[in-house]
Amino acid sequence: MLFIYPMWDTESQRIGKQKCTPLGYRLHVLADLIGFIGLLLFLGVGVYLAYRGLSQSFHASLFWLLAIPFGFGFIGQLLFQFSWFLAFRRGFEYDYEKAEASWFEKGKRVTYRSQSSDRI
């Protein structure tokens, strides 16, 4: 999952992480954006390399262009993993059966469950 990251199970999970660690949530959103840009760049580089191959101006040295989208994917993955590290450091847990998120805040366990905890 270099470019696309798992979606939220429910709104409770998403909003729970947002309330637990706002910085971690923003990093998660930024990781999604960077991953999407990396995916678009990967497709664009593929089209460009195909064009250069069809126009008979392809050189093996053009493969370095693939490092750009993979670099975006790697950075996005680091941000995604760090965002969850921040959440788990605060004791973030998500109960899939009850569809509720919980974490520690000022030494007490806080639980969040959205009004309509329908699966996304």
DSSP symbols for 16-56: HHHHH-HHHHHHHHHHHHHHHHHHHHHHHHHHHHHHHHHTT
Inside any domain, residue 74:
yes
Inside any domain, residue 4:
no
| CA dist., res. 14 & res. 25, Å (int) | 8
Inside any domain, residue 118:
no
Inside any domain, residue 71:
yes
Residue 60: strand pairing partners = none
User: Is 119 a residue whose pLDDT tops 80?
Assistant: no
Inside any domain, residue 6:
no
The answer for residues whose C-beta is within 8 angstroms of residue 12's C-beta and 6 or more apart is 94, 99, 100, 101, 112, 113, 114, 117
pLDDT at 118: 53
Band of pLDDT at residue 120, cut at 50, 70 and 90: low
User: Is 94 a residue whose pLDDT tops 70?
Assistant: yes
Domain that holds residue 107: 11-112
User: Is 117 a residue whose pLDDT tops 60?
Assistant: no
Residue 68 tokens, joined: 């750009």
Once rounded to an integer, what is the mean pLDDT over residues 49-55? 95
What is the model's pTM? Answer: 0.85
Inside any domain, residue 65:
yes
Inside any domain, residue 16:
yes
